[in-house]
Structure 1
Amino acid sequence: MSQVVYRKLQEQLDQYSVGYPTTESGIEIKILERLFKEKEAEIFLQMSLSPESSIAIAARAGSTPSQIDTLLDEMYRKGLVFRHAKDGDVKYGAVPFIEGIWEYQVKSMDRELAQLFEDYVQENLHENVTNTSPLLIHRPIAINQTIDISFPVLTYESSRKIVQNQKLIVVTDCICRVQKGLIEKGCDKPLETCFMFGTPAKYFIDRSIGRQVSIDEAFHILDVCEKAGLVTMPLNTQKPANLCNCCSDCCIVLNNLKRFSSPANMVKAKYRAVVDPEKCENCDACVERCPMDALFRDVTDSISTNQDKCIGCGLCVNGCPVAAIHLEVRPKAEPYEPPKTGLDFYKEVAQMRGKNLTPLALVSVTR
């Protein structure tokens, strides 16, 4: 029975976000068995992405609220479901594996789980994070102070504007660098670099897996991230619920983008890096700093840019000691407007992947 439940859970999680695909090794089931008890998996199958009361969930599960309240609370504490509490009204919702369950393990992950995830990524999961291009779960944007002020910069294209518009800001550790560090494949980049906003931020506070910061402290953290050579990557929406600062050593999105010949096209990059040969001193600082290996020495021993690989992050610009690089709008850049909200993102990705956000248990009932 247990294998059937976990397979159904895998199929349910595969409906959401970038999905949760099957593998030949079956490692996806091993991860679920590690995270979920069988009863927890059964309850998750009855849950919707939209938070509901335990009464509604119990009715679908053929149980009573008193029987599952304790179970739902334990699942929340383990980071397996979302919980929203306001004025004594508590609601629970299902969450994707990415972003969701995986990120919620940021303070509890151990080496065994980190290695299971690594093996899963390498076997199959890496393909899912880019096969919805350009609706990648995170979208790289140019770092602060690298864009010509004459260019119109929309709110969702500016890390400072994104942060400044938030009433509640929480910072937590980068799940990717935590995971890689546990298996001794990490890097020396800053760890506490990922921001959550609004309701998701409150979840991180309530579970003590993040800490609240002011706008000024958030700006300081962004400065540290940019100096360290991290790519600013908000959730791919116009109203992002989170904003990550990523390295190509550990980040599953950036790391996978490097496998392709044209990451710029995949992320619909608006900007490109241009090197001024008159100013360039060929110090290789930009080559070492570029997360996509887009800058290189050409046949004339000068620094050039592979425009297909350049994602317009701007790290080379603020890392150049002689100001020999600038960003410019790509001449034939196609306008790209991300989905407005996280739910819109999930709906569009589900449609693109031929999936349905309705719990499979309910789909089966209505057929």
Structure 2
Amino acid sequence: MTEGDVYEKLAGKVHMPHSRWIPMILKKLITPQEGAMLLALPLSVSEFAEKYRVDEAEAERTLEEFANKGVCIPLEKNGELKYHCVNNIIQVHDATIHGALNKNYEPVPFEIIEMWKYFRETEWLEILKVMEKTPPPMRGRCIPSWSTVKDEPELTPIENLRTILKEAPAIGVVDCPCRWLQVERGECDKPTFTCFSLTRGSVKYIVDRNIGKQLTLEEGYDVLEQCEQAGLIPTAGGNGQPRQICMCSAPECIILRAQTRYGYDLWDRSRFDATVDTDRCEGCETCIDGCQMSAITMQHDVAEVDAEKCFGCGICVVTCPSGALSMKLVRPIEHITEGPVKTTRSGEF
């Protein structure tokens, strides 16, 4: 197998067999020989040691180095730990960028993060054309900011952020891989340590890799509050109990940037729309400055929400100094799930 074949086959593993950027990124991370090892995964430490005729300590060091670079993922099943090659583009994007933040090992070269930026503006946009065809309710979705809907009697557990955290098997938080570099450069002022992992396996992974932190429930609530005040949009994938929650800033987000800048239809709005009490609106335009969807304009010195653009995130409600904005339930539960879901009692955490 030639050097080019190795990187092309690895690109194929993440469903990008004809990519220009993925092989270039992988070349910055691994040698062709290491790439061939990755193609042989999944393997346990003992299986890797036997295959490559090294002792188990060396086998573990090699596999852990791969994991810390973000090119393989350790997964435990039925009590056995095996290392698996990354197998989708989001996984390798997030894992390699998080690898750059790893404080225990040699960090991933920062130039790969620059490469990912170019990837997002080229090949990624082509992938999104396929993602647009994903049928509801399997698409990603906006979740309304908790304080803006907590008293809604028909609020369901899968759209109540505090209930989602409370019912999660574990809670962890990591840096946002989309906007971290922009924040480091001073190009974005939003917090980055904001993206939630909500399964035992994913929380163990981020703690073991030293790229995240496990949280108590109260600490999770504190992060939610911080994100609300920073004007970040809560999002999750699919229906049911989320396995992760992203806190997004559209100009940097790998999904919302394409949605707001290029007009892609990728993630669904929440069941809520923002609505304006015209008598209380002071015309300060705070809501316009904070709306990432450009859904609010001023009409005769009063804010007006475009229901076609409103994402239902509630950020405008959080930041409105006069309390003129509120959230109104306008879509049925079937908008975000395939069937009925029990409601959460008003104010339940």
Structure 1 length as normaliser, TM-score?
0.77
One-letter identity of the residue aligned with 2:282: E
Name the residue aligned to 1:147.
149
Moved more, 301-310 or 247-256: 301-310
Partner of 2:275: 274
Mapping of 1:37-186 within 5 angstroms? 37-47=31-41, 53=44, 70-84=61-75, 89-104=80-95, 105-106=97-98, 107=101, 108-129=107-128, 131-133=130-132, 134=136, 138-147=140-149, 149-182=151-184, 184=185, 186=187
**Matched residue, 1:335:** 335
Query: Does 1:28 find its partner at 2:27?
Result: no
Instruction: Give RMSD over aligned pairs.
Output: 3.2
Whole-Å Cα distance in 2 between the matches of residues 145 and 130 of structure 1? Answer: 34
Kindly indicate whether residue 290 of structure 2 is the aligned counterpart of residue 289 of structure 1: yes
Cα pair 1:130 1:253 within 8 Å, conserved? no
Instruction: Give the counterpart of 2:203 among 178, 201, 212.
Output: 201
Structure 2 counterpart of 1:229, one-letter code: G
Alignment gaps of 5+ in structure 1: 15-19, 340-367
Q: Does 1:230 align with 2:232?
A: yes
AA partner of residue 83 (structure 1): P
Separation in 2, partners of 1:123, 1:250: 15
CA distance, structure 2, for counterparts of residue 78 and residue 135 of structure 1: 33
Q: Which amino acid aligns with 1:335?
A: H
Whether the aligned pair in 1 keeps the contact of 2:172 and 2:203 (CA below 8 Å) is yes
Query: Residue 317 of structure 1 aligns to which amino acid in structure 2?
Result: V
Question: Would the aligned equivalents of 1:130 and 1:257 in 2 still touch at CA under 8 Å?
Answer: no
Candidates 255, 270, 273, aligned match of 1:253: 255
Distance 1:137 1:267, change over 3 A: closer
Per-residue deviation at 1:93? 2.1
Distance 2:183 2:146 in 1: 28
Q: Which residue identity does 1:29 align to in structure 2?
A: P
Number of equivalences: 324
* CA separation of 1:29 and 1:69: change in aligned 2, threshold 3 A: same
Q: Is the 8 A contact 2:74 2:82 kept in 1?
A: yes
Q: Return the offset for 1:186.
A: 3.0
Which segment drifts farther, 308-317 or 138-147?
138-147
> 2: CA distance between counterparts of 1:34 and 1:92?
21
Structure 2 unmatched runs, 5+: 102-106, 340-349
Q: Aligned partner of 1:122: which letter?
A: E
Kept in 1: contact 2:29–2:108 (CA 8 A): no
Q: 1:225 Cα deviation (Å)?
A: 0.7
Rounded to whole Å, the distance in 2 between the matches of 1:216 and 1:280 is 34
Equivalence for 1:312: 312
Counterpart Cα distance in 1 of 2:334 and 2:242: 21
Deviation at 1:331, TM superposition (A): 5.2
* 1:185 Cα deviation after fit: 6.6
Alpha-carbon offset, residue 241 of structure 1: 2.4
65-74 vs 307-316, which moves further: 65-74
Question: Is 2:69–2:108's contact at 8 Å kept on the other side of the alignment?
Answer: no
d(CA) in 1 for partners of 2:141 and 2:338?
9
The question of whether the paired residues in 2 share the 8 Å contact of 1:186 and 1:249 is answered with no
Report percent identity of matched pairs: 27
Name the CA distance, whole Å, in 1 between partners of 2:156 and 2:37.
41
